[in-house]
Every structure is written in structure tokens, then in C-alpha cells.
């Protein structure tokens, strides 16, 4: 409980290109970090390329359906470019 005039608890935003759920160690670490911060009384949220509009899914779908089969380098570039664009948009809206 905060007293009148006391500062609000700090706010942390964790940003990642990956989905919040999944089997990678990075995804697990992100979830555990967010939960630990929340348990300590810090407001925390996770923002990903997937937390915004579902319209981004069309851009994301090109990579596994087409680019991965044609050229893995293009596939990696596509992933990084469009997931970063979506994450930036989501962060701008969140903040």
C-alpha cells in the first residue's frame, strides 16, 4: 500500500522479439524475470512483436511459408526487420 505523496512503484517493460510463451531459455527467463519483479512489487509488463495488432501476422507468415525455403539469410533478415518494426510499434503504443 502506498501512502499519500509516496512515489508510485517503479515500472519495468521487458521487450523481446520472441513470443512470451515457448520452449527457449530466453522465453523462460523473460517470464521468470517478469514474475519475480511483480512478486517484489514492481509493475512489469512484457511487450513482444505479437502483443499488438494481429495484422502483423501476415508479414510474419511470409518467412516460414516462403523465405525459409528460398534463402535462410533472407528469412533471418525478414524476421529481424518485421518483428523489430512490430515491437517498436507496440512499445510506442504501450509507453
Helix or strand or coil: residue 89? helix
Q: Round to whole Å and give the CA distance between 58 and 77.
A: 16
pTM: 0.75
DSSP string, 25-87: HHHHHHHHHHHHHHHTT-EEEEEETTSS-TTHHHHHHHIIIIIHHH-HHHHHHHHHHHHHHHH
Helix or strand or coil: residue 95? coil
- Residue 5 banded pLDDT, cuts 50, 70, 90: low
Span 32-74, pLDDT tens digits: 999 999 999 999 999 999 898 888 888 888 877 777 778 888 8
Amino acid at each position: 500500500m502506498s501512502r499519500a505523496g509516496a512515489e508510485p512503484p517503479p515500472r519495468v517493460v521487458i521487450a523481446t522479439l520472441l513470443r512470451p510463451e515457448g520452449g527457449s531459455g530466453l522465453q523462460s527467463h523473460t517470464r521468470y524475470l517478469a514474475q519475480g519483479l511483480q512478486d517484489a512489487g514492481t509493475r512489469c509488463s512484457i511487450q513482444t512483436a505479437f502483443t499488438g495488432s494481429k495484422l502483423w501476422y501476415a508479414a510474419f507468415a511470409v518467412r516460414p511459408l516462403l523465405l525459409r525455403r528460398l534463402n535462410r539469410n533472407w528469412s533471418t533478415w525478414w524476421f529481424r526487420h518485421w518483428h523489430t518494426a512490430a515491437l517498436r510499434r507496440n512499445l510506442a503504443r504501450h509507453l
